[in-house]
Amino acid sequence: MLFVLRIGVPLESASIRRNCVNPLSNLRRRRRFTATAIPVAVKSKEELLVVVGGGPAGVYGAIRAKTAAPDLSVVLIEQGKLLTKVKVSGGGRCNVTNGHCTDKMILAENYPRGNKELRGSFFDMHGSVDTMSWFLDHGVALKTEDDGRVFPVSNSSSTIIDCLSSEAKHRGVLLQTRSAVTSAYATAGGKFLLKIDRRVGDIEEVEADYLLIATGSSRQGYSLAAQLGHSIVDPVPSLFTFKIKDAQLTELSGVTFHKVEAKLKLDNIHRSIPQLTQVGPMLVTHWGLSGPVILRLSAWGARGLFSSGYKGMLVVDFMPDLHIEDAKSIFRKHKQNFPKQKLLNSSPSELGLVKRFWKYILDREDISGDSLWSSISNNSIDSVACLLKHCTFEVMGKVYSIFSSRIISSISILKFINLPCDFCIYTFL
């Protein structure tokens, strides 16, 4: 979650549109990224911005503000340690941004919630290419992998942490950890009165001219926003794997499918939602189903799943590129060619079925793997083909795994409050 709150007049700034086919290769030829200045009223003392939250959005927001207005005092307050989630993101390598989706409209299409914010004017000013440019300008070499993910060449999240931390200190941002903003109120004079718990027994009151809330999924941020008069839509979990009610499925733990089509059906969602059908890799775990296709379904269906108590039906097509009639034909030809072979030891090579999975399919159809192909009726063969094209699983809960260490409401999506603000903040996607 990220809010930028300011009392005052908004700054008019021009939108900058850029096209870049190969962003990393062209960044060195681009202009250095410059921030839009914050208009600061002439006062007898420096104005103060308080940033709540020491994640990537908060730290970068503090740097951005101090860069745009060097005379602005910026204090960042974090309950724990700085940038802890950055350290574990991307498997410890830190996925900085996406190097393929440089067009904000294409980027927005891939986000279940928050796509409206991604389509806004902010990403004209500071998109993924600008993010890469900023890190390159600050000495961090980046690389774009085949799937579009951008990582530091060092393959270490510490490179990103060190860059952000050192730049914040260089700019003069005051970093205060082990502290928490417990309340926030707008004063009659147009400022913010904050209470800060220093965790050493004393509570301090601070009057700030600006307030930036960048607290991720922490309830602290939602509480502060509510105190300032904002209505809050409760966040729900996202990016999780499905717990499946199927004792036999546990025998397939570790089996992967490079391409399946999976459709999520929920009793409380009766309209057709295209995004509840996804195509991609899937993994069987000891608790159920995981992998990219499942994570995407969990994201697009997050609110529906929450409302249904994480109960639903998953329909999987294990041969999405093959028509049902073609599948039946393949099985019948295999029967003709290998009549004396046992079913368990012989499945059509065109389908590339793992033996454990092939046994699972036969068991679901109550067909003995010791039976010979010649003894199986064509109707039974057709039913096996139909099961591979339309295999149902009962979803009975959610499980977080190493594949879903981030929650959409906390890191992946920007939330902007529609209030006047003189600078924009970017968080890693």
Residues 263-319 pLDDT 10s: 999 998 888 889 999 999 999 999 999 999 999 999 999 999 999 999 999 999 999
Does 9 fall in a domain?
A: no
Q: Could you read off the pLDDT of 366-414 as tens digits, one per residue?
A: 999 999 999 999 999 999 999 999 999 999 999 975 433 333 222 222 2
Helices 378-389 + 324-337 axis angle, to 10: 140
Q: Would you say 78 and 179 are in contact if contact means Cβ atoms under 8 Å apart?
A: yes
User: What one-letter code names the amino acid at 366?
Assistant: D
226 and 245 share one domain? no
335 pLDDT above the threshold of 80? yes
264 and 363 share one domain? yes
The tokens 């990582």 sit on which residue? 151
249 and 334 share one domain? yes
Distance of CA 390 to the CA centre of its chain: 29
Residue that finishes a domain, picked among 185, 212, 235: 235
Number of domains in the chain: 2
348 and 362 share one domain? yes
Domain harbouring 141, CATH code: 3.50.50.60
340 and 250 share one domain? yes
206 and 298 share one domain? no
134 and 213 share one domain? yes
* pLDDT for position 206: 94
Distance CA 134, CA 41 (A): 28
Phi, psi of 17, rounded to the nearest 5 degrees:
-105, 140
165 and 87 share one domain? yes
Q: Could you read off the pLDDT of 140-188 as tens digits, one per residue?
A: 999 999 989 999 999 999 999 999 999 999 999 999 999 999 999 999 9
279 and 220 share one domain? no
Does 30 fall in a domain?
A: no
Residue span of the structural domain in which 309 resides: 237-407
191 and 290 share one domain? no
Does 417 fall in a domain?
A: no
Does 31 fall in a domain?
A: no
Does 75 fall in a domain?
A: yes
Distance of CA 418 to the CA centre of its chain: 23
286 and 188 share one domain? no
- Which residues make beta-bridge pairs with 156? none
187 and 299 share one domain? no
Q: Could you read off the pLDDT of 203-224 as tens digits, one per residue?
A: 899 999 999 999 988 889 999 9
Contact residues for 211 (Cβ-Cβ < 8 A; gap 6+) = 5, 6, 49, 50, 52, 184, 192, 194
* Beta strands per DSSP E along 238-390: 241-244, 256-265, 277-284, 288-290, 312-317
